[in-house]
């Protein structure tokens, strides 16, 4: 085997020599082509030469090795044909590298970001680059198995993602003592808000145009995840971040994992209760992207009312709240639901209320397309829920009022950044501001966004117009 | 895209590991080869899908480009990588199972490579496979420490794209499974391709760290087709799979020569089993003592 290998090398050397020879030939030919008169003769000669060479080559090869003739023919027999091909443009892949984690000591802590919403996250500055980032500390609760699998999955999935609506994981850093890796921190892009805190502190809910901007970005992110075979499994408003430039990003991949088709058996203990799809509550072990879409539906509803849609106290209560809002499943609307583990003990009324009717009346200000989308997302049958990709094409995003462009998106004081709504209640200084206030109703879209005063834009008449 | 490419080792890392190391290069190669084989055997006994075992092999070689080979016992490093790789995959294995399998594989005069170990040997060695609780706890501690070290060295980047699925696609693209090619030839060529790819995981040249999956797949197909005697297109078909002629030549050589390397190892000290760090340390100590004794001091 080794000797065979050696002879291969020898051949390669020889090939190179021949290659050079062939190249010379080519050049010669090109010159000859310019002289059109002699072209035909020369070509014939070249062909003859090539033939001779081809017939000569095997002889020399046999001396060197017993390699089959196939490869020689491969590169040499039709020189005329090879010549006509331009050099191939090969795809070159990026080749990132790996290196040791930096120490968390390279970061200077600025402040803690609310603990409840994020877990342990703090705002910090990279002392080397000067960039402000969010540092998220991995929970090491179950130390029996080493680094917890949830944390590893979070890193694994986030690292593979590159999308503007998914929070970027810059790197992973560890505590100073590297003899035992116990403190692990994710270095994430810092965004000023999370949607939950924002919704709680906003005096008025988002406008329809703003909701569309947010929902569309959320759906783009989810579509990206699903097309990369990642289930998020914990979509909720506190895991959605928003910066002051109107960009929404999905964060917290602690529950995320890769899935397959057909989906593997997975735990049904995922997704925060209020956002958990009925099939999970009924104990399904094989589920798919539809569980994320249910959560998207819940978030849609929450954006409309500023408070979570289905606030169940426990699994049973959550399920009954779902049935209250979305109707009772029947064999017709959700054929296989009876076969789910927890459905056997379920006692349902005989004459179910028509599905969707409650949702429609709960959101009277929503257009027909809007409520159709919400009803579809909160459909009990996971098969019928629209996929993220389908949702992006939905009529709701195309009809008036259009999505507010990100540049026009209002900004808010950031709690994570320790900002406060300081000017609350104080009248604005006269002068420049005055003119904008005059045109408030008609031009709010034009003046909205860019300038820092969130409350000002709130006054716009979009909700009125909609009715 | 991430299914197509991997992070690659830098020239600097390769150079550092080759030169700034007190182990001779040949011994380093041997350790890599042996450990990769051990990982492979453990993967089989743990009933892990081959892609997990393959990823573990790649990750371990990556780890050794950052941290020194001698930092930890080699089989511990192997066990820790396979435990870690399985943990983040769809088929995790318990630390206890991993520990048992390695205990079994490492029990004296059990050759990890041979699958034909006689049944009577199980009983006679059964005591050797037994773990005392203390032993297990100490192994567990070592493996979990190592897991952290591996993750730290890799910057927590555990992404490994394998060439195997690409190779299948390439074979289909090359019409290997068309009716014009006899079925047994098509089967054999695909098997050989996968075998070459799996063997390449053990290459001391660390091919999976230096070359991207498309090139590995192309080279394996080239070799397999040649061996089986199936004619591939008369043009530079490898370019379709983004592999340069030079690269193909190198990989064909490297993959083709592995058989001889393995045979060489086996002939030299086939029955000795896996090299351990402890053995190397002992050997060093002994030889340094000898030199101390024999060489007259100046």
- DSSP codes joined into one string, chain B: -TTT------HHHHHHHHHS-SS-HHHHHHHHHHHHHHHHHHHHHTT--HHHHHHHHHHHHHHHHHS-GGGS-HHHHHHHHHHHHHHTSSS---HHHHHHHHHHHHSTT--TT-S---THHHHHHHHHHPPPHHHHHHHHHHHHHHHHHHHHHTTT------SHHHHHHHHHHTTTTSTTS-HHHHHHHHHHHHHHHHHHTT-TT-HHHHS-HHHHHHHHHHHHHHHHTPPPPSS-GGGGGT--HHHHHHHHHHHHHHHHHHHHHHHHHGGG----HHHHHHHHHHHHHHHHHHSPP-
Encode pLDDT of B240-272 as tens digits.
998 989 999 999 999 999 999 988 888 876 655
> Is residue A142, in this structure, part of any structural domain at all?
yes
* Residues A168 and A240 grouped into a single domain: no
Indicate the pairing of strand A107-113 with strand A102-103.
Answer: unpaired
Q: Which of A94, A145, A171 is opposite residue B95, by nearest beta carbon?
A: A145
Report chain B residues whose CB lies below 8 A from the CB of A70. Answer: 226, 231
Catalytic residue among A194, A234, A252, A292: A234
Q: Do B244 and A90 touch (CB under 8 A)?
A: yes
What is the percentage of chain A residues whose pLDDT exceeds 70? 69
> Is residue A112, in this structure, part of any structural domain at all?
yes
Size of the A and B interface in Cβ pairs below 8 Å: 128
* Residues A285 and A328 grouped into a single domain: yes
Task: Label residue A52 by pLDDT band (50, 70, 90).
Answer: low
Nearest to A116 by CA among A200, A59, A34: A200
What CATH number does the domain containing A143 carry?
A: 3.30.200.20
What CATH number does the domain containing A421 carry?
A: 1.10.510.10
Task: Calculate how close chain A gets to B105, using CA atoms only, in Å.
Answer: 22
Main-chain phi, psi angles of A414, to 5 degrees? -95, 120
More confident position, A354 or A93: A93
Task: Calculate how close chain B gets to A192, using CA atoms only, in Å.
Answer: 26
Report chain A residues whose CB lies below 8 A from the CB of B260. Answer: 1-2, 5
> Of the ranges A267-281, A418-432, B183-197, B246-260, which one carries the lowest mean pLDDT score?
A418-432
Report chain A residues whose CB lies below 8 A from the CB of B243. Answer: 90
* Residues A185 and A202 grouped into a single domain: no
Task: Label residue B235 by pLDDT band (50, 70, 90).
Answer: confident
* Residues A183 and A258 grouped into a single domain: no
Boundary-marking domain end, from A150, A173, A190: A190
* Residues A140 and A204 grouped into a single domain: no
Indicate the pairing of strand A230-231 with strand A257-258.
Answer: antiparallel
What is the percentage of chain A residues whose pLDDT exceeds 90? 37
Encode pLDDT of A192-238 as tens digits.
988 998 999 888 888 999 999 999 999 999 999 999 999 999 999 99
Domain count, chain A: 2
Q: Active-site residue A234, yes or no?
A: yes
Indicate the pairing of strand A121-126 with strand A132-137.
Answer: antiparallel
* Residues A183 and A213 grouped into a single domain: no
pLDDT of A461 higher than 80 = no
Q: State ipTM.
A: 0.82
pLDDT of B88 higher than 50 = yes
What pLDDT is stored for residue A432 in this prediction?
41
* Residues A130 and A258 grouped into a single domain: no
Task: Label residue A11 by pLDDT band (50, 70, 90).
Answer: low
What pTM was estimated for this model as a whole?
0.76
* Residues A104 and A173 grouped into a single domain: yes
Domain with A264 in it: 198-434
Encode pLDDT of B145-157 as tens digits.
999 999 999 999 9
> Is residue A444, in this structure, part of any structural domain at all?
no
Beta bridge partners of A102: A173
* Residues A234 and A252 grouped into a single domain: yes
Q: Which of A82, A95, A152 is opposite residue B87, by nearest beta carbon?
A: A152
Task: Label residue A74 by pLDDT band (50, 70, 90).
Answer: very low
* Residues A213 and A270 grouped into a single domain: yes
Q: Do B4 and A93 touch (CB under 8 A)?
A: yes
Boundary-marking domain end, from A160, A190, A220: A190
SS3 track for A155-207: HHHHHHCCCCCECCEEEEEECCCCCCCCCEEEEEECCCEEHHHHHHHCCCCCC
* Residues A339 and A230 grouped into a single domain: yes
Q: Do A5 and B156 touch (CB under 8 A)?
A: no
Q: Do B231 and A70 touch (CB under 8 A)?
A: yes
* Residues A321 and A373 grouped into a single domain: yes
Architecture of domain B24-160: Orthogonal Bundle (1.10)
Nearest to A397 by CA among A295, A294, A298, A300: A300
Vertex A69 angle, CA A67 and A72, to 5°: 105
Please report where in the chains the tokens 């965004």 appear, as a residue.
Answer: A191
Rg of the Cα atoms in chain A = 32
């Amino acid at each position: 085997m080794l000797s065979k290998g050696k002879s291969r090398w020898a051949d390669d050397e020889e090939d190179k020599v021949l290659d050079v020879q062939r190249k010379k030939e080519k050049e010669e030919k090109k010159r000859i082509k310019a002289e059109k008169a002699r072209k035909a003769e020369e070509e014939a000669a070249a062909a003859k030469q090539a033939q001779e060479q081809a017939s000569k080559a095997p002889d020399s090869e046999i001396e060197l090795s017993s390699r089959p003739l196939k490869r020689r023919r491969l590169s040499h027999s039709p020189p005329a044909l090879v010549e006509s091909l331009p050099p191939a443009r090969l795809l070159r892949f990026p080749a990132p590298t790996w290196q040791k984690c930096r120490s968390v000591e390279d970061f200077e802590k600025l402040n803690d970001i609310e603990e409840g919403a994020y877990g342990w996250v703090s705002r910090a500055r990279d002392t080397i680059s000067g960039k402000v980032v969010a540092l998220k500390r991995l929970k090491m609760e179950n130390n029996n198995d080493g680094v917890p699998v949830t944390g590893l999955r979070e890193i694994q999935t986030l690292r593979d993602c590159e999308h503007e609506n998914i929070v970027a994981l810059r790197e992973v850093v560890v505590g100073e003592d590297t003899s035992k890796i116990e403190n692990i921190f994710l270095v994430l892009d810092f965004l000023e808000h999370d949607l939950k805190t924002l919704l709680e502190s906003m005096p008025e809910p988002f406008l329809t145009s703003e909701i569309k901007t947010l929902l569309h970005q959320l759906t783009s992110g989810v579509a990206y995840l699903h097309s990369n075979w990642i289930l998020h499994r914990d979509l909720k408003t506190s895991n959605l971040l928003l910066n002051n430039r109107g960009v929404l990003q999905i964060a917290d991949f602690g529950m995320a994992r890769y899935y397959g088709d057909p989906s593997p058996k997975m735990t049904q203990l995922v997704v925060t209760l209020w956002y958990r799809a009925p099939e999970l509550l009924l104990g399904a072990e094989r589920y798919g992207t539809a569980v994320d879409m249910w959560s998207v539906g819940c978030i849609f509803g929450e954006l409309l009312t500023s408070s979570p849609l289905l606030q169940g106290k426990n699994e049973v209560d959550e399920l009954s709240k779902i049935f209250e809002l979305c109707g009772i499943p029947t064999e017709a609307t959700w054929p296989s639901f009876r076969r789910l583990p927890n459905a056997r003990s379920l006692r349902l009324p005989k004459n179910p209320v028509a599905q969707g009717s409650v949702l429609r009346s709960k959101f009277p200000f929503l257009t027909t397309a809007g409520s159709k989308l919400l009803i579809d997302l909160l459909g009990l049958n996971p098969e019928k829920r629209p996929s993220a990709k389908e949702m992006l094409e939905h009529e709701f995003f195309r009809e008036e009022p259009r999505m507010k462009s990100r540049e026009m998106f209002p900004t808010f004081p950031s709690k994570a950044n320790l900002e406060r709504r300081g000017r609350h209640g104080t009248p604005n200084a006269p002068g420049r501001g005055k003119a904008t206030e005059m045109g408030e109703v008609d031009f709010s879209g034009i003046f909205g966004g860019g300038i820092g005063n969130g409350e000002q834009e709130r006054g716009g008449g979009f909700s009125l117009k909609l009715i | 895209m991430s299914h197509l490419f991997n992070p690659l080792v830098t020239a600097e890392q390769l150079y550092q590991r080759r030169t700034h190391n007190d182990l001779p290069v040949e011994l380093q190669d041997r350790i890599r080869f042996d450990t990769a084989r051990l990982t492979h055997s453990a993967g089989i006994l743990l009933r892990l899908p081959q892609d997990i075992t393959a990823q573990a092999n790649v990750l371990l070689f990556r780890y050794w480009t950052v941290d020194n080979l001698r930092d930890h016992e080699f089989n511990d490093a192997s066990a820790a990588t396979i435990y870690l790789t399985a943990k983040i995959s769809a088929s995790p294995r318990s630390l206890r199972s991993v520990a048992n399998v390695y205990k079994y594989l490492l029990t004296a005069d059990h050759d990890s490579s041979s699958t034909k170990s006689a049944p009577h040997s199980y009983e006679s060695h059964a005591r050797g496979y037994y773990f005392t609780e203390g032993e297990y706890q100490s192994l567990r501690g070592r493996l979990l420490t190592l897991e952290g070290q591996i993750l730290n060295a890799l910057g927590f980047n555990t992404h490994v794209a394998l060439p195997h699925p690409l190779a299948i696609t390439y074979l289909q693209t090359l019409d290997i499974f068309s009716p014009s090619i006899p079925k047994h030839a098509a089967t054999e060529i695909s098997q050989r391709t996968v075998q070459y790819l799996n063997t390449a995981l053990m290459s001391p040249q660390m091919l999976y760290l230096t070359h991207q999956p498309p090139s590995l797949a192309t080279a394996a197909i080239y070799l397999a087709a040649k061996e089986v005697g199936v004619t591939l297109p008369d043009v530079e078909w490898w370019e379709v799979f983004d592999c340069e002629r030079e690269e193909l030549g190198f990989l064909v050589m490297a993959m083709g020569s592995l058989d001889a390397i393995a045979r060489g190892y086996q002939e030299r000290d086939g029955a000795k089993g896996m090299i351990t760090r402890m053995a190397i340390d002992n050997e060093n100590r002994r030889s340094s003592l000898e030199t101390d004794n024999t060489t007259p001091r100046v």
